[in-house]
């Protein structure tokens, strides 16, 4: 779809004069012809290709060498892999089975005259893998049928935040220090000099 937000005429009208491209500029005619060719060209929907599904490339052996080189995406370590085309009912097909990673797969086909053609195919992960909808207890039980498991709802779990932090040594150390200070005071009093009180005269 193409949206044109300005008129082509450079003449002054009630809408104003917005464009002078068509006045003496030869690129205007070329652009319009290319735009007409683009809009009138046939379109076809590209098939959705998923990760893990074989990538099959039809090959006309009368025009191409019966061998295809696949360029793997960087997620698979890059590199290339040559695959020989096999004969099927519809003709010849080169199949790549190692499609375990999403990305752009390049297909390089060699024509009989030695020229190389490149096609690119995008493989995507299954859209359902990104579904974050919460699974109910009944749905989970149906999927785990025959498996022993325990189901706990987060709102039913009671816990003390102190228990998550482990054993608290703060109070224990405080009591130990208080005991050491009291023992030190008692020892200091016992070891210090205390003169006897003088007896009063009769």
CATH number at residue 69: 2.60.40
How much is the pLDDT for 44? 56
Whether 156 is in a domain gets the answer no
Q: In the predicted model, is pLDDT for residue 137 greater than 70?
A: yes
Q: Whole-angstrom Cα distance, residue 73 to residue 58?
A: 21
- Give the whole-angstrom CA distance, residue 146 versus residue 183: 65
Inform me whether the pLDDT recorded for 77 exceeds 70. yes
| Better pLDDT: 135 or 4 | 135
Checking 1-4 for CB contacts under 8 A at 24+ apart, the result is: 2/35, 2/38, 2/39
pLDDT band at 161 (very low <50, low <70, confident <90, very high): low
Of 47-51, 104-108, 161-165, the least confident: 161-165
Q: Which domain holds residue 121?
A: 49-126
Residue 114 inside a domain? The answer is yes
Per-residue pLDDT tens digits for 27-68? 888 888 888 888 777 665 567 788 888 999 898 888 999 999
Work out the average pLDDT over 88-102: 86
Residue 166 placed within a domain: no
Distance CA 125, CA 98 (A): 14
Question: Is 191 a domain residue?
Answer: no
- The winner for highest mean pLDDT among 13-27, 45-59, 81-95 is 81-95
Residue 53 in any domain: the answer is: yes
Q: Is residue 82 part of a domain?
A: yes
Identify whether 78 is part of a domain: yes
Residue (of 135, 82, 147) closest to 110 by Cα position: 82
Q: Is residue 6 part of a domain?
A: no
3-class secondary-structure state, position 92: strand
Could you give the number of structural domains in the chain? 1
């Amino acid at each position: 779809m193409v949206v044109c937000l300005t008129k082509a005429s450079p003449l002054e009208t009630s809408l104003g004069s917005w464009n002078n491209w068509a006045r003496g500029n030869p690129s205007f005619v070329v652009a319009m012809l290319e735009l007409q060719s683009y809009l009138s060209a046939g379109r076809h929907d590209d098939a959705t290709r998923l990760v893990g599904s074989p990538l099959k490339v039809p090959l006309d052996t009368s025009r191409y060498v019966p061998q295809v080189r696949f360029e793997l995406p960087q997620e698979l370590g890059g590199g290339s892999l040559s695959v020989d085309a096999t004969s099927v009912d519809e003709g010849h097909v080169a199949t790549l089975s190692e499609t375990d990673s999403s990305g752009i797969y390049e297909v390089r086909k060699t024509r009989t005259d030695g020229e190389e053609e490149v096609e690119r195919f995008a493989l995507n992960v299954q859209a359902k893998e990104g579904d974050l909808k919460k699974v109910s207890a009944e749905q989970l039980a149906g999927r785990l049928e025959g498996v022993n498991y325990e189901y706990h709802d987060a709102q039913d779990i009671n816990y003390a935040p102190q228990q998550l932090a482990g054993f608290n040594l703060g109070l224990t150390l405080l009591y130990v220090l208080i005991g050491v200070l009291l023992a030190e005071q008692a020892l200091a009093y016992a070891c210090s000099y205390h003169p006897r009180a003088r007896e009063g005269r009769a």
